[in-house]
Each structure stands twice: as C-alpha cells, then as structure tokens.
Amino acid sequence: MNKKPINAVLSSLLIAGLSLSTAVGAKNEDPFLWLEEVEGEKALEWVEKNNEKSLGYLKSKPLYEKLYQKNLEVYNSDERIPYVGQMGDYFYNFWRDAKHERGVWRRTTLEEYKKNEPKWETVLDIDALAEKEGENWVYKGSNCIYPTYDRCFINLSRGGADATVVREFDVNSKSFIKDGFQLPEAKTRMAWVDKDTVLVGSDFGEGSLTDSGYPRLVKEWKRGQDIEKAKLVFEGNKEDVSVGGFVVHDGDKSYPVIYQGLTFYTSDYFLITDKGLKKINRPLDSSISSVLNGQLLLELKSDWTIGDKTYPQAALLSINIDDYLAGSTDFTEVLIPDDKTSIAGVSSTKDYLLVNLLKDVSSELHRYSFNDGEWSSEKVDMPDFGSIGVAGTSDEHNNFFVNYNNFLTPSSLYYFDDTSGDITVLKSLPAFFDASPYNVEQHFATAKDGTKVPYFLVMAKDTKLNGKNPTLLYGYGGFEVSMRPNYSATIGINWLEQGGVYALANIRGGGEYGPDWHQAALKKNRHIAFTDFIAIGEDLVERKITSPKHLGIRGGSNGGLLVGTVTTMRPDLFNAVVCQVPLLDMKRFNKLLAGASWMGEYGDPDKEDEWNYIKSYSPYHNVHKDVEYPKVFFTTSTRDDRVHPGHARKMVAKMQSQGHEVLYYENTEGGHGGASNNKQSANLQALIYTYLVDQLK
C-alpha cells in the first residue's frame, strides 16, 4: 500500500503466525490444566455452562437491551468516517454495517471521496465469499504489490483468529487467482519482491516455528513453484520470537530485508544483496522507521555510543542509506525529545517525514524536510489537547490525511493539500452522545517512588465530590503502548450517560513519555505499573470523586494482567473488575500460544531468579480462598490465538473452587479483539457496562 513506518510493519510479524499446541505435562499439579485444551469437549461444556449463567444474569437487566440496541446503531451507522489507504489513484476502505456484517473491501477516487456521499466500487465482498465457501471468514487485511497494486495477498481468518489463510487476488478482475500464491491457515507473513517472487515465512512443517509459534524460516518463493522447493533465504533460532522478510520501497529503489526478532524488543536486520545477506549495524533495540529519499530513519530506545559520539535515548536519527550500508555512522539528529515529549509515530509522504509527538499525552504533528544535509520542520496546524493519527499517505504524493479527536470531540478527518498548503476538515463523525454536560481534566497522582503519573478524567460538570460517583478506571501499562485521549461513543452512551465518571491511566510500562517510561516497568520492575495504577485509584478516592464501593477498573490483554494483579493486591480498593482476554497464569504464559514472545516484557518464568519476582504478582498464584474479592467479570474468546483463553478459564475455575462469585463470558469467535462483527461488539460492550452499572451504582 503506502510507505508504512518499518517498525509498524515489523510489529505485524508478531500477530501473523500459527498457534502452538499446548503441551500438557502429566506431572503438572495445576488441577485446571484441562481448560487449556481450547476445543476440548469437557472444556467447551464448562464454557457453555458459565456463559449460560453469566448471560442469563446480565441480559435479565433492563439496561442490557437498551445499551445493546444503542451500541448496534453506532457500530452500523453510515455516518462513521470511512478511513482510507491510498494505492495508486484509488483510496481503499474496509467497511462493515448492517447490510455487510462481515464487511466489504472497496475503493473510490479522491474526487469522489471528498463528497459527502462518495460512490464506492466493491472489490471484495466478504459476506458473499463466506456464504459461497461455507466459511466463517473474517477479513484480516491485504498486502498489494508496489507500485502497480494490481495483485494482492488477502488474509482471511476463520472466526477472527490471528492465523489466516492467504490467497493471491487480482484487483482488476476482482477475483482470486486459481493457481496463484496461496497458503493454508497459519500466522504467515508474505512480501512481494516482484510479480513472480515473494518472501514468505509460515508454518512449513516440523521445526519451522519458533517457541512463540511464529515463523522461523524465510523462503524465496517463485510463482508456480512447490513451496517445499522454495529457496531457503534465512533460518532463525527456535528461541527467537519471529523471523520474516519484507521489502522497503523508496521511490524507484527497493530494499529486500530479513527481520530476526531476537526478543520482543531486540532484533537484527539483514539486507538481501547479490552477494548474500548483509547485517545492518544498529543497536538491537532500535527501530528503523522509514527510508525517505535516500535517508534511513532510526529511532533509539537507549543511548548509543559509536566512535566518540553518544546519541541519546529516544532520538530520531537519519543517515544516507548507501553511506550507512558502506559502514558510515555519521548520523544527523532529526529530533531529540525532551522529558515531557515522546515520538508516537513516524510516517512519510513522497518528500516529507511526518512525526507525531506526544507532549504530556497530547498530540502534535510536525512535518520535516531534508535539504542540503539538514532537517527542518514546521508544525502542522491542528487543534490542541487531543489525539492525532496520520492516514492515507503515499509514496507518489505529498498530500495526506490526519484524524483528530479527544474525549468529547468526535473524530474529524483533515486533508492536507500540499499544492495549496491548506488543511481542511474533509469528514466528521457525528456526535453520538451529548458532550456538553461533561468536562475533561488531567491530573497527576503521586506514585510510591514520588513520580508524577498522569491520568485523564471525564465527568459531568456538576459532579459532586462526595465519594459516591460510579467511576471506571481504564489502564494498560505495557509494551510501550500509550493510552491517549480519544472519542468513544460506547463510553459516552454506556457509561457517561448512565451517570458514570471515566478515568484513563497513563501509568509506566506505556509509552506516554518515551522508552524510559516503558522500561521503568519491565521485568523485575513490573510492580511499578501495578502500584502506579493503584496510586491513581487512591487519588480518585482522595479527591472524593469516588470511593472503593463505587470504583471499577477495566483492562484487556496486558491490561487484563494489570487489573487481575491489582485485584489480588488491593481487593479493598475496587468493587468491579472487567478483565478481558487477559494473561493471568504467569508461570505458563510462555508455553501458551504467542506467550514466549513476551518474555522480553515480563521475564522467563522457567528461570528461578525471574520466577521469584513474577510469582509475586501472578494473579493465578495470588488469589486466595480467605480473601474477599469484588465480583470480577472475565471475558475472552475461543478463537483468540494470541493470548490463550486458558488464562481466563483457569482463573475463573480456581476462584469458583475457592467460593468466590465471578462472571465469565467466552465468545466462540472474535479472536484477540473479542468480537468479529458489529453485533458481537455491540453485545460485548452492553454486557460489560450492564455489569459495571449494576456493581457500582
């Protein structure tokens, strides 16, 4: 498609492989190990029984149906912004609504897209395909050949899993190519070298996957060739996280690259040349962001001393790629963020570098140009105190789209026209709820070590500080992911309009203040993320915004680990917990599905010294019979092949065995997102907020 930041492309490698089967050890003393058998008959009977109980309880509440219908109206609304990516002269969009439950991949022209009601040309109808083939297809994206974009790899998931079937698609004829490139279900990564050659990493059989369940081998596959006869280009180690191939385009030049993920945060890059593989000299924890007009852009995650020069952590550097490959380390400093600023994203157009910055968790966008060996920048004129996202960039143009929103302002899509220099609002999301009664505030809680930890607060202007307000605190705190202000119709409808207060935590472990903010809560320091979150909860109580009786928390994936852990640490501080697609058994997380890839974040539980600190917070190992916990609501998906549903299943079974009252809902579809279509999304949100209102009112 367009020129994506390379680190964004590489991160997708970690969600593109085949699940590992669960090795059940006969000597394991875990009495609930059988629940790790995802499709086991006994396990699914247990799921059905718990689903029936929880759904019966929640759907009996009058609020559920009201919220479900409102949510479905939002998800199916034709007034949503159809975000696009540019390929050639067309702008592509994937769209779901009431008529297209599974969705359609479609395209239009810029002239049409500027209209209030553009005419769309359907390229691929997923509903029609699923019906024709009798499969529960979920669209997982496309990868089209540069620069013609006439052939694409289409990724199709059964029920929303990360693992996909890959098929070659002819855009002009709008049909799959009968004898084209195609592979069965796996976490496959394919990259176009040319029309008849691809780099592919997939499940090639025994020994071809890493311990994390991702590809370990990269092959060069020629059209018409049996995949088993494809040339082996690179072989990684079983202990690696993932290995893959990709191609970087810079104008007419192409750079085929091998990526070897050593850990979640360290990697090696190898350029494929006529003389073989050439290792790229860089810090293992750095990210290559882009190649623009011959300049390679490198983001540092730690200080880098090379020669007599030290480049600071978080710096964005550039260097002529040919000089770099020849051995030069004479970098130019593009940007050195201060301690209140972090780089949220780097992308590029034909001639410009776009850098999305966070300053105290609010976005700014800067456009950089490179002339006479120096970088200069200008700030793009956008509203303050919100979140910005760049979209629709292209190697062939300097025009681009920017999305802006904040908690109370619906998304607006701005169009930057390089010819005129104007930036105008092209499309806006309607207000799905009345924001006028509410205010947004930013506060800073004091952590145990004295660090000021920010959080946002959204509440009615006339909120009484009496400690009785139902309050939902949301957090994540991991993998350098920043929690930014954004407009959520479901939060507005399901929570604010029900009289709730919403708080968003910016705890350490995230990326709100750059790599150092993330690294402060890695491995043995993981507890810092948990105590930061608790400090915000205590701050909400101290400000008399709420009290433990009315305070609830929510998190998913790593955020599910967060809320699961703080529930065992401070069960007295919360009265509702929504724990979604969570990690909870931290003794076995590295043996389940993609879990081994996250040891760079949490540590290795098979090493005694690292298990000693992991076991101090692992929720599954720190829940006790004689402690009173809030009635936790756990949700997961049978088709989640990233975070194993066994985490939530086993935690629920253990808490039930100890006599604790909990709720559990497992969607049989949905993947790691928990839902695979609009109806499922509307249902899940209605269940969650019905529970929260019931617990915290």
Rounded CA separation 437/429 (Å): 19
Q: Is the CB of residue 569 less than 8 Å from the CB of residue 482?
A: no
Match 């899993």 to its residue by tokens: 161
Residues 6 or more apart in contact with residue 372 via CB below 8 angstroms: none
With a CB cutoff of 8 Å and minimum separation 6, the contacts of 206 are: none
Q: Is 369 a catalytic residue?
A: no
Residue 625 CB contacts under 8 Å (≥ 6 apart), including other chains: 658, 659
What 3-state DSSP class applies to 167? strand
95, 127, 137, 408, 429 from 75: Cα distances, Å: 11, 17, 19, 18, 12
- What is the token pair recorded at 418? 């390089």
Catalytic residue among 286, 348, 488, 557: 557
For the chain, state the CA radius of gyration.
25
397 is catalytic: no
Total length of the chain: 697
Place of tokens 């599910």: 560
Q: Which residues pair with 192 in a beta bridge?
A: 198
Check: CB of residue 219 under 8 Å from CB of residue 231.
Answer: yes
- Say if residues 248 and 8 touch (Cβ distance below 8 Å): no
Cα–Cα nearest to 121, from 90, 152, 82: 90
Please give the structure tokens belonging to residue 521: 């809560």
Distance between CA atoms of residues 361 and 513, nearest Å: 8
309 and 332 Cβ atoms separated by less than 8 Å: no
How far is it, in rounded angstroms, from Cα 105 to Cα 92? 7
- Token pair for residue 568? 């065992």
Task: Give residues with Cβ within 8 angstroms of 107, minimum separation 6.
Answer: 90, 91, 92, 93, 120, 121, 123
Amino acid identity at 525: N
Beta sheet of 121-125, edge-to-edge order: 85-87, 90-95, 104-108, 121-125
For 388, the enclosing helix (H) or strand (E) is strand 387-391
C-alpha distances in angstroms, 205 versus 208, 216, 377, 378?
6, 11, 50, 51
Contact 639, 161 (CB under 8 A): yes
Whose structure tokens read 């970087």? 248
DSSP 684: H
- The span from the CA of 168 to the CA of 643, in Å, is 29
Active-site choice (287, 672, 676, 681)? 672
Catalytic residues: 557, 672
